[in-house]
């Protein structure tokens, strides 16, 4: 590229060449350079003196601009939405339940927030048996707003040499769902649940982290750490990953606690012995908002084979390959770091049927405040 410029120094004003060399320090700045060259091309049209040079600059500038646009788009993080589960406690396909004034779902608001935060693509993990309903009610509305893809989680999507144990009906868990996207994601990506309302700040925080990773980055991951007191339901217990972090704000442990609620005014979880353990309201918890790079798929494939090779996991019909299980292994082995990104966002979602009306009212309140338009897409 520089040879082309240096080769035409004799016929192009030196200040233009110097500008090109200055702006060419990074490929993102090449976009600016292309704009500069196209402007110069317009100037050459007025100056017939350089008519022979115009074709060189015009073709060269457009080529730089187009390739740079593609490169920038590829750098935008992808949002991976886990939507394969039936809401066992809520009942029905809660991911498709319209809660906004025009039938918007919770994930519609997440996708709207992600677009505002600079995400460039969305990928859904769903079950094959409700693909048609999903395409009709959900996927069609995003056309023209953001590229979208589907992939499918199924019980028999297992590595070669493994088969579904007799009597197993429960899906293999969140990290198995993540693995289903390995062939369609080649850039940094964020994983979320589809039935949790995360708030825009959450997407801004994780989007910034992912977009600022160096190209080709590996083993530098992140999670958004919600404050546990901001993530409870008024209608029963919730499941959360209780997190600990070191002095560098990196995650040290994430332990899945399946029963968390407020008891006597204190946030508490039930431990392995069935005892309630109190924690502070600001204790960071995982709401399944994770930031990874594509190398995470390789780690997950390898560890899933170990998971399936353990007789206890094959005998236990409810054993699941959770994301925190994979993350803890990578941290404990020193393979990866996971930055805990703080947010004061208040979570809300439909864990129980009784939560639904409250969520509808909270969404309407945000619309009234001007946070969201009345109609998203």
151 domain residue, yes or no: yes
From start to end of 246-334, where are the E strands? 251-263, 266-270, 276-278, 284-292
| Residue 91 confidence (pLDDT) | 46
Domain count, the chain: 2
| Residue 4 confidence (pLDDT) | 42
Q: Are residues 164 and 304 both part of a single domain?
A: yes
Q: Are residues 21 and 129 both part of a single domain?
A: no
Q: Are residues 67 and 83 both part of a single domain?
A: no
* 104 φ/ψ angles, rounded to the nearest 5 degrees: -65, 140
Give the C-alpha separation, 207 to 216, whole Å. Answer: 17
The CATH number of residue 304's host domain is 3.90.550.10
Radius of gyration, alpha carbons of the chain: 25
Q: Are residues 156 and 143 both part of a single domain?
A: yes
Q: Are residues 58 and 90 both part of a single domain?
A: no
Burial 98-129 (b: 16+ CB within 10 A, else e): ebbeeebbbbbbbbbbbbebebbbbbbbbbee
DSSP collapsed to 3 states, 92-145: CCHHHCCCCCCCCCHHHHHHHHHHHCCCCEEEEEECHHHHHHHHHHCHHHHCCC
Q: Are residues 94 and 56 both part of a single domain?
A: no
| Residue 58 confidence (pLDDT) | 53
Contact 6, 47 (CB under 8 A): no
Q: What angle do CA 244, 107, 130 make, to 5 degrees?
A: 115
H/E run at residue 227: strand 220-227
Give the C-alpha separation, 168 to 147, whole Å. Answer: 35
Q: Is 324 exposed, middle or buried (0-12, 13-18, 19+ CB in 10 A)?
A: buried
Q: Are residues 67 and 116 both part of a single domain?
A: no
Q: Are residues 207 and 123 both part of a single domain?
A: yes
Among 73, 101, 118, the domain boundary falls at: 73
CA distances 96 to 108, 169, 313, Å, are 10, 22, 31
| Residue 129 confidence (pLDDT) | 84
103 domain residue, yes or no: yes
Q: Which pTM was predicted?
A: 0.75
Q: Are residues 357 and 316 both part of a single domain?
A: yes
Quickly count: other Cβ atoms within 10 Å of residue 293's Cβ. Answer: 21
Q: Which domain holds residue 9?
A: 2-73
375 domain residue, yes or no: no
196 domain residue, yes or no: yes
Among 56, 73, 90, the domain boundary falls at: 73
| Residue 88 confidence (pLDDT) | 44
Give the C-alpha separation, 17 to 352, whole Å. Answer: 64
95 domain residue, yes or no: yes
Q: Are residues 121 and 44 both part of a single domain?
A: no
| Residue 74 confidence (pLDDT) | 55
Among 73, 96, 130, the domain boundary falls at: 73
374 domain residue, yes or no: no
Q: Are residues 356 and 232 both part of a single domain?
A: yes
Give the C-alpha separation, 129 to 152, whole Å. Answer: 9
261 domain residue, yes or no: yes
Residue-wise pLDDT tens for the chain (377 aa)? Answer: 444 444 444 444 555 445 444 444 444 444 444 445 545 444 545 555 545 554 554 555 555 544 444 454 557 999 999 988 744 444 455 556 788 899 888 889 999 999 999 999 999 999 888 888 888 878 889 999 999 999 999 999 999 999 999 999 888 999 999 999 999 999 999 999 888 889 899 999 999 999 999 999 999 999 999 999 999 988 889 888 899 999 999 999 888 898 999 999 999 999 999 999 999 999 999 888 999 999 999 999 999 999 999 999 999 999 999 998 999 999 999 999 999 999 988 888 777 778 888 889 999 999 999 999 999 98
Q: Are residues 282 and 190 both part of a single domain?
A: yes
CA-wise closest residue to 209 among 130, 290, 310, 308: 290
| Residue 346 confidence (pLDDT) | 84
């Amino acid at each position: 590229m520089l040879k082309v410029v240096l080769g035409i120094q004799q016929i192009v004003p030196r200040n233009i060449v110097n500008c090109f060399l200055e702006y060419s320090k990074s490929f993102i700045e090449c976009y600016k350079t292309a704009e500069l060259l196209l402007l110069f091309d317009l100037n050459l049209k007025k100056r017939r003196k350089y008519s022979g040079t115009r074709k060189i600059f015009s073709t060269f500038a457009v080529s730089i601009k187009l390739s740079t646009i593609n490169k920038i788009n590829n750098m935008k993080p992808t949002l991976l939405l886990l939507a394969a589960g039936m809401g066992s406690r809520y009942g029905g396909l809660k991911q498709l339940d319209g809660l906004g004034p025009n039938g918007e779902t919770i994930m519609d608001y997440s996708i709207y927030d992600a677009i505002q935060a600079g995400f460039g693509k969305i990928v859904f993990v769903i079950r094959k048996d409700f693909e048609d309903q999903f395409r009709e009610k959900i996927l069609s509305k995003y056309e023209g707003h953001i590229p979208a893809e589907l992939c499918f989680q199924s019980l028999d999507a297992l590595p070669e040499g493994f088969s579904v144990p007799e009597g197993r009906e429960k899906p293999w868990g969140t990290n198995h769902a993540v693995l289903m996207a390995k062939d369609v994601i080649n850039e940094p990506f964020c994983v979320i649940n589809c039935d949790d309302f995360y708030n825009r700040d959450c997407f801004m925080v994780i989007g910034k982290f992912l977009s600022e990773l160096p190209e080709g980055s590996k083993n530098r991951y992140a999670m958004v750490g919600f404050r546990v007191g901001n993530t409870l339901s008024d209608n029963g217990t919730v499941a959360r990953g209780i997190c600990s972090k070191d002095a560098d704000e990196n995650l040290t442990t994430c332990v899945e606690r399946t029963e968390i609620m407020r008891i006597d005014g204190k946030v508490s979880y039930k431990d392995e012995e069935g005892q309630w353990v109190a924690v502070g309201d600001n204790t960071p918890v995982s709401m399944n908002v994770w930031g990874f790079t594509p190398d995470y798929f390789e780690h997950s494939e390898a560890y899933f084979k170990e998971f399936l090779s353990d007789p206890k996991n094959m005998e236990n019909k409810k054993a699941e390959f959770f994301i925190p299980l994979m993350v803890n292994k990578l941290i404990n082995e020193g393979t990866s770091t996971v930055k805990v990104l703080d947010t004061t966002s208040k979570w809300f979602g439909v864990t129980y049927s009784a939560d639904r009306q409250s969520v509808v009212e909270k969404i309407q309140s945000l619309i009234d405040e001007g946070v969201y338009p009345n109609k998203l897409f």
